[in-house]
A and B are shown apart, each in its own frame.
Chain A
Amino acid sequence: MATFKDLALQYVLSDDEPAQLEIVKKAAQEIESSGANRTVVGNWAASVQPWMSRDQPGDEDLVEDGEDVGNGDIISRSKALAFLAGTLEALDKSLLRTDQVTFLVGFFGSMFSYDHKSGITASTQALQQLQVMKAFKPSLGVKMVEDLLKLKEDFRLQTAATRLEIYKLLSTLLHDESVSSELQHKYGASCGFVVDLLQLCQHERDPRNLMVWFKIQADLLRDYSPSPEVTEEIFKAFSAYFPISLRSSATPIGITAQDLKLAVRQCFSAHHRLASHAFSFLLQKLDQGDAVTVAVKVDILQTIEACITNYENPQVSVVPYIEKLWNSLKYEVRNGEVKETIDATLDVLRAIANRLDGSKTQKQDVSLLRDYIDLVFKDCREDLGNPTYTKQAGLLVTTVITSNIRSYMLESSNLIECLRKNLVSPKSPAHTKDLVLLLNSVLTARSHLIEKRKEGHPADQEDLKGELKSHSANTVYDMLSGVWVSIPNKSDCLLDPDENKQTIELLKQVIKGLALLATQVIVREQGDIALLCSEKILSSISGHLIHILVLRLPLAYRDPSYVGKTENSYTLEEEAQTALRDVVGVYLPAYEDFVQRATDEILGYNWGEAHGRTVFGLIELKNLLSRLAYVGCSRLPINIPSDVANPKPFSALNHLVTFLAAAIDLLPLVLVKPDEDDITEQKEQWANLYVLSAIHSGLLFFHRECVAKYTAEALLADRSVGGNWVEELDRLPNNWLQLLRSDEMTDVAPDQMAVDGPSVFGRYLRFGMFLTKYLYRQAVTGASLIWTESMIEQVGDIATAVVRRLTEEEQVSHKLAREAFELFNGRTSSAEHTLLLTRGILTGLWPAAMSELYTPDGPAEKYLCNVPVFAISTMHQIEIHASISLILTDRYKGGPSTADPEYQVIKRVLHFWGEKLKEACASADMKPQSMELLSFLAMKVFTGAAARQDKHARQLAQVLEEALVNDNANADILARATGILVEHSYVLSAENHAIVGRLYHQWVYNFIASPLLQRGLPGGGSPAAAKRFRTAALCIISGSSFGVFEADLQQVVRLVIVALNDEDEPTPAAAEQFTTPLQVLHDIINEDPDSLKGHIKPIIDGLLKAHRWGYRTVAKAGLDKTPTKVLLASKIALDVLGQLPLKFEHRHLLAYIPKVERIMAETCGHPSRQIRGVAREVRARWLKIN
C-alpha cells in the first residue's frame, strides 16, 4: 500500500514525462510480480484516494485508512488518475481478471458522471487500455458507451484534446464487432443510443476531432442497422457540415480541407439507405446556381459520384434517382463554362453508367443501362444538330456511351449515325469541326475499351465479338473522307495559313480521326484482335496523309513567290506526320507508299539548280527527308492480323530497312561542279548532305525507340557477340538492303528480318554496320564530285552513331580499332580526306577495344608522333588530325596485361610534343602560322591525357615554364593556346566512352594553371614574360567554372585587372588577351561580386578599354573581316558593364555615369547588330542609376 501510495505521490509531484513513465512502469511491475493479487490491485487503486473526494462512488471500497485530504486540487487529481491510466498502459494486457476489469471499468466510468473537470482525459485513456484487456467483456463496452453518454452537455466543455480521446475510445468500441453486436442486441434496430451520441457531439468544430467523429458516423451507418428515423438523424448531423471548409491557420494541424471533405464524403456514401436523403440534399445544393462556388460544386459532384459508386443494390439506391440526377447535371455541361465542373459532372454520368452496367463479377439487368442511355441520348440528339450546343451535347452523350463496353455496344452505332446525318448537312465549318472532334473521341474511347477488355466481365469480350466490322469502318471512313473531299485545295492551307486557320483546324481533326480509324482493332471469334479497316480504307487513309506530307516540296521548289510565306506554321504537316507514324505502325504497306511517293517527288527535281532557284526547295527537301526518317524509324511497328494482302512477311525492321535502302538509292541527288575552286563551299552538295543527315536521324530515332520499348539493359542482355560482322557482311552484295526491302533475299543471310523483341536491336546494329561499311567504301573509292569533305564528315558521324552502340566485346570481335585505319578496305589509307572516316570509328570505340593500337611503336604511337608539315597545312586539316590525336591519348589504358605494360607509349608521346613546343619557342624560326598549328595539335595531345588525369601530362607545366620565358612571338602563340586544355569537345563525352576524370578541370587548374598565377603578376621577371604567363593562366581559367579557381580568387582578380589594363593593346589575332580576362570577370561578377568591390575603378577602366579596342578594330577592318573573338571581347565587356548597376550599390558607380553613358550612346551605332542590342540594354540600366 505504502509503495503504491508513494509511487502515486511521486507521479503527482513530478512534471517530467520520462520520470512519470518510469514510475508507472514500477507500479505495473509491482502488480505483475504479485500476479494481479486482489489485495495488491486494490492497494494500487486506492493509492489515489488522497486526491479523490470522499463522496465519490466506490470510495467505500477504496478508502482503507480513512485519510482525508478533502477535494484536493483539480490538477493533482487529474494526475493521480493519470497515474492509474499510465499503469494500465504499462501493464500486461492479459494479467487482470474479469472481476478486476469490471471493477475498474465501473470506477473510471463513474468519472464521466462525477468528475467533469479533471477525471475525463485520464479515465478515457484508462478505459482505452481496459478495452484491449484480455478479460474485457463486450457488455463492458456497452457500459462504457453508456457512461460516456452521461457527459451530456459537459462534453462540449471539455478541451479538444480530451474530446479527441473520447472520440477515439468511441470509435474503437463501435468498431469492435463484439461490442457492436452487444449494442445492437441491447438497443435493437432502432439504435437508440445513437441519438444520444449525436446530441453529445453535435457541436464539434475541431478538425482533428471531426475527422474521427465523421468516421464514427460512417461506421454507424455502415456496420449498424439504424431505423429510418435514426438514419435521418445521423444524416442531419453530418450533412450540417456540408460543404465543409477549413480556415487557414498559422499553426498547421496536419489536416487539410480536402481531408475533411473526404471524411464527410465517406459519410454520404456510407450506406445506400441514405440514398433518398443524400441525392435530394446534394442536388438541392447544386441547383442553387451561381450561389455555389466552383470548388463547392466540384465537392458536391464528387460526393454524388462517391454515393453512386459506393451504394450497394443500384436498383434501389441509384435507379430511382437517375432522372432527377440527369435533369440537374446536364445543364452543368450544356451551359457550363468551368472545366473542373464539367469534368466532375462527366465523372458522375460515367459513374452512373458503370454502376448500371455491373461489376467485374456480376452484371446488372441490361434494361437499366439501356434506359439510362436512352434518357441521355433523347435529350442530346437535338443538340447535336445545333452548332451552339454540339460540343456540349457530344461530350455528354459520348461520355455515357463510352463509359463501358456494354453501353458502347448498345448505342455507339446510333451515335455514329446521328453524327453522320449531321455531317451530311453541317450548319457551319465550326459545326463540322465539333462533329469530327466527337467522332474522334468516340474512336479514342473505343480503342481504350478494347485495350482494357480483359479487365472487365467476360461477357464484355463476347459482346465485342458481335460488333459489325465492315459497317462501322465504312461509315466512319465515309464521314471523314467526306469532310476531307469537301476541302479541295489543301495547298492553300500551307501557303496562307492565316487566312485558312479554321480549315487547318478542321483538317487537323480529320487527320487525327483518320489515324484513329486506321489503328482501330476488332475482337475476332477466337478472342484475338485484328485490324478493323479493310486494305482499301487503310490505303486511302495513308494516301491522304502522304498527300499532305509531300505537298509542300513542289510548291517550295517551283513557286518563286513562295518566299515570304514560310512564316506559317507546319502544324498540319506535323499532325499528318504523327498520324502517318501511327498508321504505318499497324499497316506496313503505307510506309512503302510514303517512301515511294516521297522519293519520286524528290527525284523529280534537279537539285543542282535548287540553290539558284530558291533555298526553300532545299529546306523542304530536308524536312521531307527528316519526316521519312521520323515516320519510319521512331516507332516499332506491331503485328496485327488483318485482311491486308501483304506481299512481305511482318518484321519490326521493315520500315528501317525500307528507309535505309531508299535513302542510299537517293545518293547522289546532285554532283558538285568540278570547275569551281572550293567544292566544300558549294551549296548544291547540301541536297546530298540532307540525305545523309536523314539516315543519321533515322538511326538515332530507331535507337531511342528500342531503348524506350525494351530498356537499355534488355537490349544489352539480348545480344550475342557472334564472330566478326565485318567479315560476314563482306560476303553480302552491295545492294543487300535493297534486296531485303524488296524481300528478294532468300539464299544469302536468310532470316535477317525474322526477329522480335529486344533482338531487333542486334539486327539494327548489323544493318548499321553494313551501312557504315557500304558508305565508307563509297566515300573512299567513290567519285569526288559526290564525296566532298562535308559528306565524308557526315558518314563518319553515322559510323560513330552505330559503333558506339556496340559493346566492348563486339568492337573487339569485329576488329574495329583496325578498321578505323583500314576503313573496311583491307589496307591502311593514307589519303588526307579519309581521316574524317578514321575519326568517325575511333570516336565511338571503348578504350578496351582500342588497346591493340597502343603497342610500343604501334599504330597509335606512330600516328601521335607523326608531325604534319605545318607550312603546307591548313587549320582545318590540323583540327581533324588533332581530334584523332585527342581520342588516342584519351582512350589509352596502359599497364600489366595490356599492349603497353610499362606505360611508356603516352609518356613518350607527351615528352615528344613537350620538346617540340620548347624547341619552337626557343627560336623565332618557325612562322607564326605554323606555330599556331603546332601549339593547337600539341595541346590537343596533352588534353586527351589531361582528361584522364594522367600524371605524365603534368610535365606540360614545366614545358610552359621553360617555353614562355622566351621573348618571341611563338611563345605568345603558345600562351594563347593553353585554353584548349579545358575546351569542350564532343569526342570527350561519356556517350562516346571517353575517359574523363571527375575533377578534370580542377586537375588542369591545379597542375598547369596554378603554378603560372604568381609568374603572371607584375614585379618578377620581364613584363613580356609575365604577360605570357598571365595569358596562359587566364586561358585555362576562363574555360573552367568558378568553383575551380574560387580558392585563389583574390589572386585571379588581380590577374584579370592587370590583364585588362595592360598598356599594350593586342592584335586582332591575339584577342585572347582581352576575351579571357573578360570571361573570368563575367564569371566572378555573377558568382561573387563582393570580391570585386574594392576594384570598381580599374574594372570599369579595363572594360571600357577592351570595348573601345574592339570597336576601333571593327571600324578599321570592317565587320566581315573582324575575327569573332574581337566582337566577343566587346560583347562580354558590355555584358559585365551592364551587370555592375545590378550587383553594386549605385553610389559606387555615380562617378562613372557620364563616361559610360557617352560610350554606350556611341556604341548604339556599332556595326554589329548584336553589340548594338547589348549596348542598348547597358545604356538603359545605367540610365536608371540615381
Chain B
Amino acid sequence: MASADIQNANPTILSVSQLPTRLEGRISANKGAHCEYDNVVFRDRDWLKDLMKEHAGDDSAGEPLDEQEVYDLISVISDPEHPHTLGELNVVRLPDIHVTPPPRNNPKGLGNVQVELTPTINHCSLATVIGLAVRVRLEQTLPPNYRIDVRMKDGSHAQDDQVNKQLGDKERVAAALENDSLKGVLDNMMKPCFA
C-alpha cells in the first residue's frame, strides 16, 4: 500500500519482550556465559524446566487450548499497511481473547473462541480485512467443533456494528474469500504465520 494511503502513520509498536508469552519460554531465554556448561552439568536432568512448568501451573492432565495459544496463532498475522504484526500493533490483545473449551466429558462437544480486535484508529477502513484475516486464520487452525466469533471491541471502531455484522455473516465471509485481490491481501498477511 502506498505510504500516502496510510491511515495511521505512527502507530504505537510493542517490543517483542512486551508481548505476552508462556512463562517457560521467558525463563529459558536467560542464558549467559555463566550457563555455558549447563547442558553438560545438568545433562537430561532438567530441574529448572520441571520447576517452571509446575510454577506456571500447567495442567498436567492436559494442555487444553487456551487464550495464549489463540493469541500465538493470530498475533503473528501481519498488518495490511504496516510492516508489523497485529500483536506488535496491539490490535490483538490477550485479555480480549476468550476461550470456552468443550465440556470435559465430551471433548468433541462445542467450544467457543471469541476474539475482540482493537484497531489502531477508530475509523480504520482496514478493520474488516484484519477481522477477516483473524477469522480465516482461526478457521484454518482450530478444530471444527469450535465456534469462532471475531468482532471489534466495543467503542474501538466508529462503525463497529457494521464491521461485526460483516464478520459474523458466514456467507459474506465465504463470498469475500472468492475475491482474488482480497485473497492476495490475506495471503500476504498470513505469510509470517508460516515462517
Q: Do A and B come from one complex?
A: yes
Which residues on A are within 8 Å of B, measured CB to CB? 498, 563, 566-570, 573-574, 577-578, 611, 614-615, 618-619, 622-623, 626-627, 629-630, 634, 683, 686, 689, 693, 696-697, 700-701, 790, 793, 797, 986, 1115, 1118-1120, 1161-1165, 1167-1169, 1172, 1176-1177, 1179-1180, 1183
Contact A701 B63 (CB under 8 A): no
User: Any chain A CB within 8 A of the CB of B40?
Assistant: yes
Contact B18 A1120 (CB under 8 A): no
User: Any chain A CB within 8 A of the CB of B176?
Assistant: no
User: Any chain A CB within 8 A of the CB of B27?
Assistant: yes
Can you give 10 contacting A-B residue pairs, CB < 8 Å? A498-B17, A567-B26, A623-B35, A630-B34, A683-B51, A697-B37, A1164-B141, A1165-B145, A1167-B63, A1183-B140
Q: How far is the CA of A977 from the CA of B181 in the complex (A)?
A: 57
Contact B144 A1162 (CB under 8 A): yes
Report A-chain residues with C-beta under 8 Å of the C-beta of B17: 498, 567-569
Q: How far is the CA of A1177 from the CA of B32 in the complex (A)?
A: 33
User: Which B residues between 33 and 67 are near A, CB-CB below 8 angstroms?
Assistant: 33-38, 40-43, 45, 47-48, 51-52, 54-55, 60-65
Contact A578 B33 (CB under 8 A): yes
Contact A1118 B62 (CB under 8 A): yes
Contact B51 A1120 (CB under 8 A): no
Report B-chain residues with C-beta under 8 Å of the C-beta of A1180: 140, 194
Contact B143 A627 (CB under 8 A): no
Name the residue of chain B whose CB is nearest to the CB of A692: B41
User: Any chain A CB within 8 A of the CB of B107?
Assistant: yes
User: Which B residues between 98 and 146 are near A, CB-CB below 8 angstroms?
Assistant: 107-108, 140-146
Contact A574 B142 (CB under 8 A): no
B129 to chain A, nearest CB (A): 20
Contact B47 A574 (CB under 8 A): no
Report A-chain residues with C-beta under 8 Å of the C-beta of B108: 1165
A1090 to chain B, nearest CB (A): 26
Question: A1120 is contacted by which of B35, B48, B62, B146 (Cβ under 8 Å)?
Answer: B62
Q: How far is the CA of A577 from the CA of B32 in the complex (A)?
A: 10
Contact A1119 B33 (CB under 8 A): no
Contact B62 A1119 (CB under 8 A): yes
Given contacts A626-B35, A696-B37, A1115-B107, A790 and B26 within 8 Å (CB-CB): no
Contact B144 A1118 (CB under 8 A): no
Most central of B29, B30, B37, B69 by chain A CB within 10 Å: B37
Report A-chain residues with C-beta under 8 Å of the C-beta of B107: 1115, 1165, 1167
Contact B27 A619 (CB under 8 A): yes
Q: How far is the CA of A1121 from the CA of B29 in the complex (A)?
A: 30
User: Any chain A CB within 8 A of the CB of B10?
Assistant: no
Q: How far is the CA of A570 from the CA of B63 in the complex (A)?
A: 30
Which 7 A-B residue pairs are closest in the complex by CB-CB distance?
A1165-B143, A630-B34, A567-B26, A1169-B63, A626-B34, A1164-B143, A1119-B62
B118 to chain A, nearest CB (A): 21
Contact B194 A1119 (CB under 8 A): no
Contact A615 B52 (CB under 8 A): yes
Given contacts A566-B27, A686-B47, A1165-B145, A697 and B32 within 8 Å (CB-CB): no
Contact B33 A630 (CB under 8 A): yes
Report B-chain residues with C-beta under 8 Å of the C-beta of A1169: 63, 69
Contact B51 A686 (CB under 8 A): yes
Q: Other CB < 8 Å A-B pairs besides A498-B17, A577-B32, A696-B40, 7 of them? A: A566-B27, A574-B32, A574-B33, A577-B34, A1165-B108, A1165-B143, A1176-B141
Q: How far is the CA of A700 from the CA of B21 in the complex (A)?
A: 34
Most central of A563, A567, A614, A689 by chain B CB within 10 Å: A567
Given contacts A615-B55, A1161-B143, A1165-B145, A629 and B34 within 8 Å (CB-CB): yes
Q: How far is the CA of A693 from the CA of B47 in the complex (A)?
A: 12
Given contacts A498-B18, A1162-B144, A1172 and B65 within 8 Å (CB-CB): yes
Report B-chain residues with C-beta under 8 Å of the C-beta of A568: 17
Contact A1118 B141 (CB under 8 A): no
User: Any chain A CB within 8 A of the CB of B15?
Assistant: yes
Report B-chain residues with C-beta under 8 Å of the C-beta of A567: 17, 21, 26, 29
Most central of A569, A614, A986, A1164 by chain B CB within 10 Å: A1164
Name the residue of chain A whose CB is nearest to the CB of B47: A686
Question: B51 is contacted by which of A563, A615, A1172, A1183 (Cβ under 8 Å)?
Answer: A615
What band does the interface of chain B fall in when counting residues whose beta carbon is under 8 Å from A? Answer: 35 or more
Which residues on B are within 8 Å of A, measured CB to CB? 15, 17-18, 21, 26-27, 29-30, 32-38, 40-43, 45, 47-48, 51-52, 54-55, 60-65, 69, 73, 107-108, 140-146, 194
Question: B146 is contacted by which of A615, A627, A1165 (Cβ under 8 Å)?
Answer: A1165
At the interface, is chain A mostly helix, strand, loop or mixed?
helix
Q: How far is the CA of A634 from the CA of B33 in the complex (A)?
A: 10
Q: How far is the CA of A1047 from the CA of B195 in the complex (A)?
A: 36
Most central of A566, A611, A1168 by chain B CB within 10 Å: A566
Q: How far is the CA of A1066 from the CA of B108 in the complex (A)?
A: 25
B156 to chain A, nearest CB (A): 25
Q: How far is the CA of A1164 from the CA of B65 in the complex (A)?
A: 9
Contact B41 A696 (CB under 8 A): yes
Contact B140 A697 (CB under 8 A): no
Q: How far is the CA of A634 from the CA of B26 in the complex (A)?
A: 27
Report A-chain residues with C-beta under 8 Å of the C-beta of B35: 623, 626
Report A-chain residues with C-beta under 8 Å of the C-beta of B29: 567, 569
Contact B34 A619 (CB under 8 A): no
Name the residue of chain A whose CB is nearest to the CB of B17: A567
Question: B61 is contacted by which of A573, A626, A697, A1119 (Cβ under 8 Å)?
Answer: A1119
A795 to chain B, nearest CB (A): 12
Contact B33 A577 (CB under 8 A): yes
B67 to chain A, nearest CB (A): 13
Report A-chain residues with C-beta under 8 Å of the C-beta of B64: 1167
Report A-chain residues with C-beta under 8 Å of the C-beta of B38: 626, 697
Report B-chain residues with C-beta under 8 Å of the C-beta of A630: 33-34, 36
Contact A693 B41 (CB under 8 A): yes
Report B-chain residues with C-beta under 8 Å of the C-beta of A1177: 194
Report B-chain residues with C-beta under 8 Å of the C-beta of A701: 36-37
A1136 to chain B, nearest CB (A): 19
Name the residue of chain A whose CB is nearest to the CB of B50: A683
Contact A1164 B33 (CB under 8 A): no
Report A-chain residues with C-beta under 8 Å of the C-beta of B69: 1169, 1172
Contact A1120 B60 (CB under 8 A): yes
Q: How far is the CA of A1176 from the CA of B73 in the complex (A)?
A: 10
Most central of B29, B30, B32 by chain A CB within 10 Å: B32
Contact A1167 B62 (CB under 8 A): yes
Given contacts A498-B18, A1164-B142, A1176-B141, A1119 and B47 within 8 Å (CB-CB): no
Report A-chain residues with C-beta under 8 Å of the C-beta of B61: 1118-1120
Report A-chain residues with C-beta under 8 Å of the C-beta of B32: 570, 573-574, 577
A212 to chain B, nearest CB (A): 52
Q: How far is the CA of A696 from the CA of B62 in the complex (A)?
A: 36
A511 to chain B, nearest CB (A): 14
Report A-chain residues with C-beta under 8 Å of the C-beta of B37: 696-697, 700-701
Question: A700 is contacted by which of B30, B41, B52 (Cβ under 8 Å)?
Answer: B41
Report B-chain residues with C-beta under 8 Å of the C-beta of A1163: 143
Name the residue of chain B whose CB is nearest to the CB of A1121: B61
A892 to chain B, nearest CB (A): 25
Contact B48 A619 (CB under 8 A): yes
Q: How far is the CA of A578 from the CA of B73 in the complex (A)?
A: 39
A105 to chain B, nearest CB (A): 73
Report B-chain residues with C-beta under 8 Å of the C-beta of A614: 55
Report B-chain residues with C-beta under 8 Å of the C-beta of A1119: 60-63
Contact A618 B45 (CB under 8 A): no
B180 to chain A, nearest CB (A): 14
Contact B65 A622 (CB under 8 A): no
Report B-chain residues with C-beta under 8 Å of the C-beta of A626: 34-35, 38
Most central of B51, B54, B60, B194 by chain A CB within 10 Å: B51
Question: B45 is contacted by which of A574, A622, A790, A1120 (Cβ under 8 Å)?
Answer: A790
Name the residue of chain B whose CB is nearest to the CB of A574: B32
Name the residue of chain B whose CB is nearest to the CB of A693: B41
Report B-chain residues with C-beta under 8 Å of the C-beta of A629: 34
Report A-chain residues with C-beta under 8 Å of the C-beta of B21: 567
